[in-house]
Structure 1
Amino acid sequence: MVSSVWDGSDGWQPSELVPLAPIPMHPGMLGVHYAQVIFEGLKAHRQEDDSIAVFRPWENALRFQRSARRLAMPELPTEMFIEAIERLVAADESWLPAGNDELSLYIRPIMYGSESNLMLRPSREYRFLTVAFLAGGFFGNLPAPLSVWVSRTHSRAMPGGTGDVKCAANYGPSFMAQQEAAAAGCQQVMWLDSEERRWVEEMGGMNLFLVRGEGPDAELVTPELTGTLLPGVTRDSLLALATLMGYKTRQERISIDRLRADCESGVVTEMFACGTAAVVTPIGRLRDEKSAWTVGDGQAGPTTMALRDRLVNVQHGRSPGPDGWLHPVRVPGTVR
């Protein structure tokens, strides 16, 4: 793992690459008590020439800084974030085999308030860590379409809150709704806005898209960024790739009532979730406390799978993507 510390006098100290091991924690550590914790998630992929590259790490570095600002934490310099990723991937790349698109090196940077103090104020000491592990598909290889629970009781975020940053406090409160989803036979939760409980926002750790129409006339639609949902890197990547592939794209507010009506009438032909872990995962069915409805024929649609294939091919260097999306990592002792 890569580790660095910060304090108000000396700022960020040079990072160190050290063996993965437990870290002693004082019971009064401020970050644990007051949720001053932020994190990121990104992946490194094996390339066609057996080299390794990280997908869009600069975007994660910038989002990490936005999250830090929102929680009154010190910003980690972009170069320090990227250096930590490079050092860790170079050290761990041997765990990632060639020839398996479903495996990647999942990278988890985290920063937390580490000061031992129960005063209700921002920490004056912080630790930044980056760890990695070998990961397969979040829902398995080529997953079956998800069943999704529409939560009309719980809220993930509110206007003026922290819904558009990646902080730990956004995730623990979502677990109750996830348990309700599982009890209803669903794998994921769809969150609605907290004010009207009408507008579709995102899913548990994933953004979502729907497809209106089919074939070359298909339109890709995703909820607009209102400050209460996370601006996902995969979401942004799919909007860009969809345009390159000739699809129309739209970001708009989507009401749950219209979504259901459009699914039942056939206007909405496909839906999928997307994220660093989930990549692109089809949605086949939605339900709430009173009813259930199917998206299209309930199976993965052609537009969904075309976008998934294009994204995976870009991540592995087989298809061209916009400049700068792949960040190569040099592994000492290799010549490529």
Structure 2
Amino acid sequence: MTTDVLQIELRKAERSRLQEVDFNHLPFGKHFSDHMFVADFVDGQWQNQLIVPFDNFTLSPALSSLHYGQSIFEGLKAYKSEEGKVLMFRPYANFERMNESARRMCMATLPEEVFMGGLEALLRVDADWVPNTPDSSLYIRPFMFATDTFLGVAPSKTYRFCIFTGPVGAYYTNPPKLKVETEYIRSAPGGVGYAKCAGNYAGSMYPTLLAQQQGYDQLIWTDAREHKYIEESGTMNIMFMIDGKLVTPATSDSILKGVTRDSILQIARSWGITVEERLVSIEEVISSIETGRLTEAFGAGTAVGASPYSLIGYNGQDYMLPEFSPENSFAARVKDYLTDLRTGKITDEFGWMQTI
């Protein structure tokens, strides 16, 4: 869609912070662009659409989202082509998933003109913040939270939607070490695991910290009933190459439906690779490592892209994964393909990219 940006009021920052950023050394999530988009849901409709300088909000201590957790978010990226064009990767998939999260959390859904309109207008204003250095991109964070000021467990009647952005480099500099979690759970059937709500991430921090104290970087979450089947890996969906097939846990109401996950599966099928979305037991994965049938294990997500793992720890034993080989790796091949697609170097056969 092409958005009429005149419907959105622009309040330009007096001074850009662009020159303060070293684009050759970009940490993840530390730098933020000059502006943000905000809109408020009041009296049953979205209004007050503004692009304003990135700054703090003034909030009431009685804000219902601070007490009862009505808060959701998304994560997507924009890239710059060699010609200097700004390209977004699958923004409509994030738009649809955000509304799915909103419905689960009893929050107001977003019309396309608010989500996509605000996103496009913001990227036009801050186009210079999109980096073009290797492994870099502009991370985009849309989020929404309840703004009623009351104490009582009930859905808010008002909400604030905001989008801000920031240039980022690679999320992981080395292949992560994973520990299989068999005590704590991330989500359960009937819960909110498929929603991108803030509480899912808050609840994961303590068991992740325990694993990090043992020398691991992230967790492999297992099912809530038996701790037998693999669900996700930290901030990522998880994939395995076993017997030449791409195997990944099937999505459910306890697993986030990752946009990168879906993209990689579509690409693999288009390359003639057999894809299996099914129950994947940890015992199957360990056995496949021991017999050499497993050749790759990697995470898939907006922040990490396709990120190979180095080892899996299970029941007190570490299982080394095959050494990463860029020449023979599916993860490396699909990562390079996605990089070329997102930066306009190859034809967009899937219709995923949107030019600003």
Normalising by structure 1, we get a TM-score of 0.92
Instruction: Give, in angstroms, the shift of residue 299 of structure 1.
Output: 6.0
CA distance in 1, matches of 2:68, 2:109: 18
Q: From 317, 321, 332, give the equivalent of 1:291.
A: 317
Q: Give yes or no for the alignment of 1:308 onto 2:341.
A: no
- Does the CA-based 8 Å contact 2:230-2:280 persist in structure 1? yes
Give the Cα–Cα distance (whole angstroms) in 1 for the partners of residues 195 and 349 of structure 2.
Answer: 25
- SS where residue 209 of structure 2 aligns? helix
Which letter does structure 2 place at the counterpart of 1:56?
R
Taking the aligned partners of 1:97 and 1:279, their CA distance within structure 2 comes to: 17
Work out whether 1:201 is the aligned partner of 2:231.
yes
C-alpha separation in 2, matches of 1:136 and 1:192: 30
Instruction: Determine whether 1:49 maps to 2:83.
Output: yes
Q: Does 1:161 align with 2:188?
A: no
RMSD (CA atoms) = 1.3
**Superposition deviation, residue 320 in structure 1:** 2.5
3-state SS in 1 of match to 2:156: coil
Write out per-residue CA displacement over residues 39-61 of structure 1, whole angstroms, 9 at most, x where no aligned residue: 00000001121101110000000
Counterpart of 1:240?
266
Partner Cα distance (1:132, 1:15) in 2: 17
The answer (yes or no) to whether the contact 2:79–2:131 under 8 Å persists in 1 is no
Partners of 1:126 and 1:297 in 2: CA distance: 48
The Cα offsets for residues 245-293 of structure 1, whole Å up to 9 and x where unpaired, read as 2211110100011110111111111110010000011012000342111
Answering whether residue 151 of structure 2 is matched by residue 125 of structure 1, we say: no
Letter of the 1:175 counterpart: M
Whole-Å Cα distance in 2 between the matches of residues 324 and 16 of structure 1?
30
The residue type paired with residue 205 of structure 1 is T
Aligned residue type for 2:99: Q
User: Partner of 2:147 in structure 1?
Assistant: 114
The 4+ residue runs of structure 1 with deviation greater than 3 A are 297-301
Change (3 A) 1:196 1:41: same
Distance in 2, Cα, partners of 1:135 & 1:191 = 26
Kept in 2, the 8 Å contact 1:145–1:299? The answer is: no
Alignment of 1:170-249 (within 5 A): 170-213=200-243, 218-249=244-275
Contact 1:59–1:233 under 8 Å retained in 2: yes
SS at match of 2:124: helix
Q: Write the distance in 2 (CA, Å) between the matches of 1:150 and 1:298.
A: 20
Distance 2:309 2:222 in 1: 17
Alignment partner of 2:175 out of 134, 145, 151: 145
Following TM superposition, by how much is the alpha carbon of 1:243 offset from its aligned partner in structure 2, in angstroms? 1.5
Q: CA deviation at 1:96?
A: 2.4
Distance 1:96 1:46 in 2: 6
TM-score, structure 2 length as denominator? Answer: 0.87
SS of the residue 2:96 aligns to: helix
Question: Whole-Å Cα distance in 2 between the matches of residues 224 and 189 of structure 1?
Answer: 18
Q: How far 1:14 moved relative to its partner?
A: 4.2
Q: Residues 94 and 130 (structure 1 numbering): CA distance in 2 closer, same or farther, change over 3 Å? A: same
Q: Which amino acid aligns with 1:277?
A: A
Alpha carbons 2:131, 2:167 under 8 Å: kept: no
Q: Which of 23, 31, 38 in structure 1 is aligned with 2:57?
A: 23
Please say if 1:320 is aligned against 2:341. Answer: no
Q: Secondary structure at the match of 1:87?
A: helix
Give the secondary-structure state (helix, strand or coil) at the position aligned to 1:201: strand
TM-superposed deviation, 1:168: 0.4
Q: 1:275: which partner in 2?
A: 301
Query: Contact between 1:205 and 1:275, CA under 8 Å: does it hold in 2?
Result: yes
1:88-142 alpha-carbon deviations (Å, 9 max, x no partner): 11122212233x23111100001000111011100111000000011111113xx
Which sections of structure 2, spanning at least 5 residues, go unmatched? 1-35
Letter of the 1:161 partner, please give it.
Answer: G
Partner of 2:276: 250
Q: What are structure 1's unaligned runs of at least 5 residues?
A: 330-336
* Pair 1:78 & 2:112 matched: yes
- Is the contact made by 2:231 and 2:249 (CA closer than 8 Å) also made in structure 1? yes
User: CA distance change for structure 1 residues 212 and 289 in 2, over 3 Å: closer, same or farther?
Assistant: closer
- Partners of 1:324 and 1:307 in 2: CA distance: 17
Amino acid at match of 2:57: I
CA gap of 1:116–1:126, structure 2 versus 1, over 3 A, is same
Q: Which whole-Å CA distance do the structure 2 matches of 1:185 and 1:93 have between them?
A: 40
